[in-house]
């Protein structure tokens, strides 16, 4: 019987399941979206049960689509939206509150309080992160303090916390495994980056009891086994986990120090493999764990822009400029430039390297000649210009000038965006044949963790270039774009 790997890519707007054969060829792919919840301006939530329902539905759909026997699944890999946080009751699996999504800004005031206490450098040194609402720790604190009865139940050991990987493993294993991997744990503000364990001092400052937290494990290896599911038989190993951006770095075969990728999803995320030692950023980037295989840890520098594909969704849903996201490329292509319009997509604050949670989105340079096509083009350019800020900081911190940037994610299919990205960065953009490298990375980690493969050669063999975008913009035009962008960012 053929062996298959089931890769679950649990993202911000939906869940995708890929089934890969033992040569990493895609045999089935099914996606299902689920609702976003916005209780107040700046607050973003998900219903954990909707996430679980979408996961089961996409597993069943992928098996049916590929005509694949569930008994042929050799291992399961999970990749996930990373900082999104859930707390649930151990006895009945019921969440105590909606999941608080990584985009949510409700804990900005608490982050400011921690900074006022002089704790920012301690967290920076121990975790490689900044004190920002983006990360999981302050979300846990909010639920402990704001949801009635949760702190007492947590201190009594009745509750479990997890990022979405942990929540899915718990459900897939019938509540037998409460675990996470180092890449997800490194996004909580609670894990010591140097010894890869929960840090008691940081837990104390954050007010989070340690018995709430999962066990931290390497990214590849057996985390648990399926149990009590309708869609899969018992006993399948869950053998690979990585946060979505680290999984994409792995799926892009960026196995060596200095190799980098950008994923265009709801946000845009640039990661550079920095090797087996963490590199401290002096320019507002994050130092994070890329993955751990056996005893070897790889670290990465990361810069995140909170809004990328979400800007296109806003043009569609908020302004009605387009009817579907793919329309934006054709619309933007009807004009030769943005007509002097600059769009800063700070719809949920600014991430790296600025870290300004209070920043607001900005569209400037509008005149009577501005059309919806100019706005569409400016939105795409704004996504690329955010990345220019990040890459400039990344090259300075690492001391490495990139020779090329690999790209993936849904918006990487947009040729206009990719060409402008190459132009504004002045480096080639390399797009692979398989854009869903996040799921590919999770599948590869699961195959390695379950013994389907013994090394990463299969990934290198599977990775193929679809298109390479060479810079074509002259230095003067590039400088004009960047100056206009910096002026706009300063006002956002």
Counting Cα atoms < 13 Å in the Cβ hemisphere of 180 gives: 31
pLDDT one-digit tens code per residue, 408-419: 988 899 999 999
Residue 448 — φ and ψ, nearest 5°? -70, -40
Total domain count, the chain: 1
Q: Is residue 206 part of a domain?
A: yes
Q: Is residue 341 part of a domain?
A: no
Res 28: pLDDT: 95
Res 157: pLDDT: 94
C-alpha to C-alpha distance for 300 and 104, rounded to whole angstroms: 24
Q: Is residue 436 part of a domain?
A: no
Res 119: pLDDT: 96
C-alpha to C-alpha distance for 29 and 44, rounded to whole angstroms: 27
C-alpha to C-alpha distance for 21 and 11, rounded to whole angstroms: 22
Q: Which residues contact 317 (CB under 8 A, 6 or more apart)?
A: none
Contact 43, 68 (CB under 8 A): no
Contact 238, 173 (CB under 8 A): yes
Q: Is residue 130 part of a domain?
A: yes
Q: Is residue 362 part of a domain?
A: no
Contact 407, 429 (CB under 8 A): yes
CATH of the domain at 63: 3.30.420.40
Q: Is residue 157 part of a domain?
A: yes
C-alpha to C-alpha distance for 237 and 225, rounded to whole angstroms: 4
Res 1: pLDDT: 55
pLDDT one-digit tens code per residue, 444-483: 999 999 988 888 887 777 788 999 999 999 999 999 999 9
Q: What secondary structure, in 3-state letters, does the chain show?
A: CCCEEEEEEECCCEEEEEEEECCCCEEEEEEEECCCECCCCCCCEECHHHHHHHHHHHHHHHHHHHCCCHHHEEEEEEEECCCCEEEEECCCCCECCCEECCCCCCCHHHHHHHHHCCCHHHHHHHHCCCCCCCCHHHHHHHHHHHCCCHHHHHHCCCEEEEEHHHHHHHHHCCCCCCEEEHHHHCCCCCEECCCCEECHHHHHHHCCCHHHCCEEECCEEEEEECCCCCCCCCCCEEEEEEEHHHHHHHHCCCCCCCCEEEEECCCEEEEEEEECCCCCCCCCCEEEEEEEECCEEEEEEEEEECCCHHHHHHHHHCCCCCCCCCHHHHHHCCCCCCCCCEEECCECEECCCCCECCCCCEEECCCCCCCHHHHHHHHHHHHHHHHHHHHHHHHHHHCCCCCCEEEECHHHHCHHHHHHHHHHHCCCEEEECCCCHHHHHHHHHHHHHHCCCCCCHHHHHHCCEEEEECCCCCHHHHHHHHHHHHHHHHHC
Q: Is residue 77 part of a domain?
A: yes
Range of the domain at 168: 4-245
Where the chain has pLDDT below 70, the residues are: 1
Res 258: pLDDT: 83
Peptide bond into 484 cis (omega under 30): no
C-alpha to C-alpha distance for 136 and 464, rounded to whole angstroms: 35
Task: Kindly state the tokens that stand for 95.
Answer: 């969440």
Q: Is residue 475 part of a domain?
A: no
């Amino acid at each position: 019987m053929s062996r298959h790997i089931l890769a679950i890519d649990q993202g911000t707007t939906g869940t995708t399941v890929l089934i890969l054969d033992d040569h990493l060829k895609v045999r089935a792919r099914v996606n299902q979206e689920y609702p976003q919840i916005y209780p107040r301006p700046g607050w973003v939530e998900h219903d954990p049960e909707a996430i679980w329902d979408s996961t089961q539905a996409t597993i069943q759909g992928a098996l049916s689509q590929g005509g694949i026997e569930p008994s042929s699944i050799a291992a399961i890999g999970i990749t996930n939206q990373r900082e999104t946080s859930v707390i649930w009751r151990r006895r009945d699996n019921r969440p105590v509150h909606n999941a608080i999504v990584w985009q949510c800004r409700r804990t900005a005031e608490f982050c400011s309080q921690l900074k006022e206490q002089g704790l920012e450098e301690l967290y920076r040194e121990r975790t490689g992160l900044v004190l920002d609402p983006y990360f999981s720790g302050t979300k846990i604190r909010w639920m402990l303090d704001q949801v009635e009865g949760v702190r007492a139940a947590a201190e009594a050991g009745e509750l479990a916390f997890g990022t979405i990987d942990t929540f899915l493993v718990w459900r897939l294993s019938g509540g037998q495994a409460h675990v996470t991997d180092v890449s997800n744990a490194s996004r909580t503000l609670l894990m010591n980056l140097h010894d890869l364990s929960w840090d008691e001092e940081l837990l104390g400052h954050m007010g989070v009891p340690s018995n709430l937290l999962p066990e931290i494990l390497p990214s590849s290896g057996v985390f648990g086994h399926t149990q009590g599911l309708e869609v899969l038989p018992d006993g399948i190993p869950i053998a690979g986990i990585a946060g979505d951006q680290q999984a994409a770095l792995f799926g892009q075969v960026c196995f060596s120090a200095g190799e980098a990728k950008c994923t265009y999803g709801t946000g845009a995320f640039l990661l550079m493999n920095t090797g087996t030692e963490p590199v401290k950023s002096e320019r507002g980037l994050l130092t994070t764990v890329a993955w751990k295989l056996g005893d070897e840890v790889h670290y990465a520098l990361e810069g995140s822009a909170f809004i990328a594909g979400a800007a296109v969704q806003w043009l569609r849903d908020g302004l009605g400029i387009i009817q579907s996201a793919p329309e934006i490329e054709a619309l933007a292509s009807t004009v030769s430039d943005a007509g002097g319009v600059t769009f800063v997509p700070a719809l949920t604050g600014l991430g790296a390297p600025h870290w300004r949670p209070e920043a607001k989105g900005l569209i400037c340079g509008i005149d009577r000649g501005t059309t919806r096509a100019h706005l569409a083009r400016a939105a795409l350019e704004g996504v690329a210009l955010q990345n220019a800020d990040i890459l400039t900081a990344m090259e300075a911190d690492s001391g490495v000038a990139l020779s090329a940037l690999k790209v993936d994610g849904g918006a990487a299919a947009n040729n206009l965006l990719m060409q402008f990205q190459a132009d504004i960065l002045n480096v080639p953009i390399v797009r692979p044949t398989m854009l869903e490298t996040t799921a590919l990375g999770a599948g590869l980690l699961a195959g390695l963790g379950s013994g389907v493969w013994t090394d990463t050669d299969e990934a290198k063999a599977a990775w193929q270039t679809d298109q390479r975008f060479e810079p074509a913009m002259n230095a003067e035009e590039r400088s004009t774009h960047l100056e206009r962008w910096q002026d706009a960012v300063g006002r956002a």
